[in-house]
Amino acid sequence: MSRWINWWNEDGTVALKDAPKVGRTPILTLEEQVKTVELGLQNPKFPHRELAEIKRQTGKQISAYTLKRLLKKKITFGKESV
């Protein structure tokens, strides 16, 4: 019998919950992510300008890769995300 069935038999649904995930906390808060996406969409051909503006407004420096990832997430999932 598999391990998860044993857990189910012992503790029910409580035993099947995932353990807390570890990892790096996001650099930007949700509000800052929204602002970053708005700034990134203003002039997508020159991301270095947006990166400087993001740093000026939030005081946090992000990479071009992070900006690209946030923009891709916005475009992929629509207005529901960030």
What pLDDT score was predicted for residue 78? 54
pLDDT digit string, tens, across residues 6-62: 887 888 877 777 778 888 888 899 889 988 888 888 887 888 888 998 899 989 999
pLDDT one-digit tens code per residue, 57-76 = 989 999 999 998 988 887 66
- Name the amino acid, one letter, at 29: T
Question: What does DSSP assign to residue 45?
Answer: T
Separation of alpha carbons 7 and 33, rounded Å? 39
- In this structure, what token pair is assigned to residue 42? 């203003």
Q: Which amino acid is at 36?
A: T
Q: b or e along 4-29 (b: 16 or more beta carbons within 10 Å of the residue's beta carbon)? A: eeeeeeeeeeeeeeeeeeeeeeeebe
